Amino acid sequence: MAREIGEVILDLQNISLRFGGVKALTDISFNVRKHEIRAIIGPNGAGKSSMLNVINGVYHPQEGTIMFHGKPRKDMEPHMAASQGIARTFQNIALFKGMSVLDNIMTGRNLMMKSNFLQHALFLGSARREEIEHRKKVEEVIEFLEIQSIRKTPVGRLPYGLQKRVELARALAAEPSLLLLDEPMAGMNVEEKQDMCRFVLDVNDQFGTTIVLIEHDMGVVMDISDRVVVLDYGKKIGDGVPDEVKNDPAVIEAYLGTSH
Amino acid sequence: MFYREAGQFKASYREDQQIFPIRQDRIGIVAAIVFFFLVVPLIANQYWLQAILTPVLIFSLAALGLNILTGYAGQLSLGSAAFMAVGAFGTYNFMLRMDGIPFLVALVLGGLCAAVVGILFGLPSLRIKGFYLAVATLAAQFFIVWVLVKFGWFSNHSTSGVITAQHVEILGYTFDSPLSKYLLTLAVVVVFALLAKNMVRSATGRKWMAVRDMDVAAEVIGIRLMGTKLQAFAISSFYCGVAGALYAYMYLGTVEPEGFNLDLSFKILFMIIIGGVGSILGSFIGAAFIVLLPVFLNVAMHTSLGEFIPANIAANLELIIFGGMIVFFLIVEPHGLARLWQIAKEKLRIWPFPH
Ligand SMILES: Nc1ncnc2c1ncn2[C@@H]1O[C@H](COP(=O)(O)OP(=O)(O)O)[C@@H](O)[C@H]1O
Ligand SMILES: [Mg+2]
């Protein structure tokens, strides 16, 4: 791959997160470089999802600093993270169940849509133009992810694998610079996994999107990621390129040794 | 004529984003509007205009208001009637205190008062959801009615807060006959329904539904929960407020705060449950159903059918049917009669070859 991995855009320093007595994350530091695919792996309950939640402001760590594009940010709310170009998908699909595929993906454009409810109510001129302009962008995403045939379907009626893809579409519609994917391939069959891998790689390659990815399938992780962070019981036990991590004794014991 | 979209190809996103993308729906809406504006005035008698059609329209507007909040934005409310009261008393005071103010202006200002009160009582929604929010809106219901009774200023110091609607005159034409009131109500309701339809199919509606369906995901996409919820409360209360003013000016003529009690709030809630939660059409169907059911039962009881039903059951038949239907729709078809209609249309779309 001829991708240029760039400077550090996200730097997490000494992050600790507690829920009452539960230490979800303890003193974790790692960084993410522009344009790379950064994987987070670890057994269930290791704190991977919590880590993503910290990055996009759903959880606020008790300790630590987050530098995004060189600026420290603390207690950032999710919508602020969104407006700074961070989008994500969830481990348990978090689509808007009552809406069509198209409407779900259109919500991804929300931050870029400027007209207000009065303009929407009248649906004249600028509001209509805006809707059409963003619809075009959304159609590009739909085409990219090959979901043209289901655009008008209510998402609740779709099979699991397609729902995951629609969720990715919604995140991509926001044209994020940093994309967080929480187990995008979990529960998929081999073919669906291959499709999803291809999409992740294409997003990274064609749009230059930086990706932080949580994944259980070690084969997938080793194949597509540039660098891997390994978490176990909320602590970081490994960090490096796939080959390094794969051969790290601590990682082998904690993670590869278990039944995953 | 077949109901289907086959052969109606959309050549542009503009066409695909028309308010009613399927031609038969467009024809249906135009036909309905023509029917209610031009045909109904010719065939309906005073009783139908005054006692059935006008209140159906007014309740439809209130149900639409509640549907915006509950059906689209997912915030349960038991305070609809109170917001109607604010609209009615607001409009009354603008008419009373501002000489020569046009009725439609007072109507909108009354609605805006309701919107402001709606925002205030929507504040708890930022912290609580579901059942607890419903209880908080219940507080609005009792508090607002209490204020309107307690402070005589709102009713110009009449006994027990009763207000009598002033004469309504627009461009020199006085709206005092049942027909003229029906037509004015119809015009207002049609305009507001179209505005609502536009809102729910655009980014505003998508925001509401996103917050309703999955608030964490909505926030992560950049939708601000606070603004979106309060906006839904404001617009919903505005609709209820306008409905309340029409209720006073176009339907009853004389109202008191107690008329906007919890019973009325529940009635409006039942309208959207039976008609369809999250459906504009459902708001109309639900309102029509709840107003018409007692009328039909009454007629049925006076025919031979009435003889077979014991009097004690007959007296409660309305409640039994309401109760049964509410349970049915809550459990079996949460999207109400409007959804059943939609399923029928989908069947029709592929008829006669379902596979
Ligand atoms: N919102 C929360 N409230 C309480 N505990 C939580 C919450 N989110 C995560 N945890 C706890 O933090 C730990 C890490 O969870 P999580 O980040 O979901 O792990 P992973 O994604 O690696 O499986 C678990 O012990 C989990 O129970
Ligand atoms: Mg997880």
Among B97, B116, B117, smallest CA distance to B106 is for B97
Q: Which of the ligands is closest to the CA of residue A182? A: 2
Task: Work out whether the CA dihedral B332, B338, B342, B345 comes out positive or negative.
Answer: positive
Please name the residue whose Cα sits nearest to atom 9 of ligand 1: A50
Q: Which residue type sits at A37? A: I
Kindly report which listed range (A17-31, A47-61, B341-355) carries the lowest average pLDDT score.
B341-355
Domain range spanning residue B187?
Answer: 44-350
Does A78 contact B213 at a Cβ distance shorter than 8 Å? no
Q: Distance (Å) from the C-alpha of residue B151 to the closest C-alpha of chain A?
A: 34
| Euclidean distance between CA atoms B257 and B158, whole angstroms | 12
Percent of chain A with pLDDT over 70: 97
CA B137-B270-B49 angle, to 5 degrees, is: 115
- As a whole number, mean pLDDT of residues A32-55 equals 95
Please name the residue whose Cα sits nearest to atom 8 of ligand 1: A50
Residue A255 has what pLDDT? 65
- Interface check for A118 against chain B (CB to CB < 8 A): the answer is no
**pTM tops 0.90, yes or no:** yes
Quick one: which atom of ligand 1 is closest to the CA of A42? Answer: 22
Does B206 contact A103 at a Cβ distance shorter than 8 Å? yes
The answer to whether B263 and B269 have CB atoms below 8 angstroms apart is no
DSSP string computed for A23-59: EEEEEEEEEEETT-EEEEE-STTSSHHHHHHHHTTSS
| Euclidean distance between CA atoms A155 and A104, whole angstroms | 8
Mean pLDDT of chain A: 92
* Residue A76 vs residues A58, A142, B92, B266: alpha-carbon distances, Å: 8, 30, 46, 41
Q: How far is CA B164 from the centre of its chain?
A: 23
The answer to whether A110 and B211 have CB atoms below 8 angstroms apart is no
CA A242-A247-A253 angle, to 5 degrees, is: 115
The answer to whether A16 and A26 have CB atoms below 8 angstroms apart is yes
Please name the residue whose Cα sits nearest to atom 14 of ligand 1: A47
- Interface check for A79 against chain B (CB to CB < 8 A): the answer is yes
- Interface check for A131 against chain B (CB to CB < 8 A): the answer is yes
Using an 8 Å CB-CB cutoff, list chain A residues near B73: none
pLDDT at A218 over 60: yes
Domain with B120 in it: what CATH number? 1.10.3470
The answer to whether B78 and B252 have CB atoms below 8 angstroms apart is no
Using an 8 Å CB-CB cutoff, list chain A residues near B229: none
Secondary element (H or E) of residue A74: none
SS3 for A88? strand
Please name the residue whose Cα sits nearest to atom 5 of ligand 1: A19
| Euclidean distance between CA atoms A41 and A212, whole angstroms | 11
- As a whole number, mean pLDDT of residues A233-256 equals 87
pLDDT at A257 over 60: no
Residue A45 CA to ligand 1 center (angstroms) comes to 6
Residue B270 lies in a domain: yes
Number of domains in chain B: 1
Residue A260 has what pLDDT? 45
Using an 8 Å CB-CB cutoff, list chain A residues near B202: 120, 123, 127, 131
Residue B19 lies in a domain: no
Q: Which CATH number fits domain A1-85+176-260: 3.40.50.300, 3.90.1150.10, 3.30.230.10, 3.40.50.2300?
A: 3.40.50.300
Does B220 contact A96 at a Cβ distance shorter than 8 Å? no
Residue B17 lies in a domain: no
- Interface check for A78 against chain B (CB to CB < 8 A): the answer is yes
pLDDT at A106 over 80: yes
DSSP state of B167: P
Residue B29 lies in a domain: no
Task: Work out whether the CA dihedral A153, A155, A156, A160 comes out positive or negative.
Answer: positive
Residue A201 has what pLDDT? 96
Residue B306 has what pLDDT? 66
Identify which has the larger pLDDT, B344 or A205: A205
SS3 for B309? coil
Does B221 contact A87 at a Cβ distance shorter than 8 Å? yes
Using an 8 Å CB-CB cutoff, list chain A residues near B216: 58, 78, 90, 94
| Euclidean distance between CA atoms A6 and A210, whole angstroms | 10
- As a whole number, mean pLDDT of residues A200-213 equals 96
* Residue B208 vs residues A74, A92, A142, A150, B211: alpha-carbon distances, Å: 28, 21, 23, 23, 5
| Euclidean distance between CA atoms A186 and A169, whole angstroms | 17
Residues, CB within 5 angstroms of ligand 2 (ion) = A 49, 91
Domain ranges of chain A: 1-85+176-260, 94-174
Compute the count of residue pairs across chains A and B with CB atoms less than 8 Å apart: 110
Nearest to B222 among A58, A95, A110 (CB): A110
The answer to whether A53 and A59 have CB atoms below 8 angstroms apart is yes
Please write down the HEC assignment for all residues of B72-89: HCCCCCCCHHHHHHHHHH
Residue A217 CA to ligand 2 center (angstroms) comes to 13
The answer to whether B253 and B178 have CB atoms below 8 angstroms apart is no
Among B50, B32, B281, smallest CA distance to B184 is for B50
| Euclidean distance between CA atoms B73 and B77, whole angstroms | 11
The rounded radius of gyration (Å) of the Cα atoms in chain A is 19
| Euclidean distance between CA atoms B292 and A239, whole angstroms | 70
Q: How far is CA B279 from the centre of its chain?
A: 11
Residue B320 lies in a domain: yes
Q: Which residues have C-beta atoms less than 6 Å from ligand 1?
A: A 19, 22, 24, 42, 44-50
Residue B12 lies in a domain: no
Residue B3 has what pLDDT? 62
Task: Work out whether the CA dihedral B129, B132, B138, B144 comes out positive or negative.
Answer: negative
Please name the residue whose Cα sits nearest to atom 10 of ligand 1: A24
Does A107 contact B206 at a Cβ distance shorter than 8 Å? yes
**Consecutive 10-residue averages of pLDDT for chain B (355 residues):** 61 76 85 95 94 97 98 95 98 95 97 98 89 90 96 91 93 93 97 96 96 95 95 98 98 96 96 94 96 86 73 78 85 83 77 64
SS3 for A201? helix
Residue A256 has what pLDDT? 57
Which chain B residue lies closest to A123 (C-alpha atoms)?
B198
Give per-residue pLDDT as tens, A131-173. 999 999 999 999 999 999 999 999 999 999 999 999 999 999 9
pLDDT at A249 over 80: yes
| Euclidean distance between CA atoms B126 and B140, whole angstroms | 16
> Complex ipTM, two decimals?
0.92
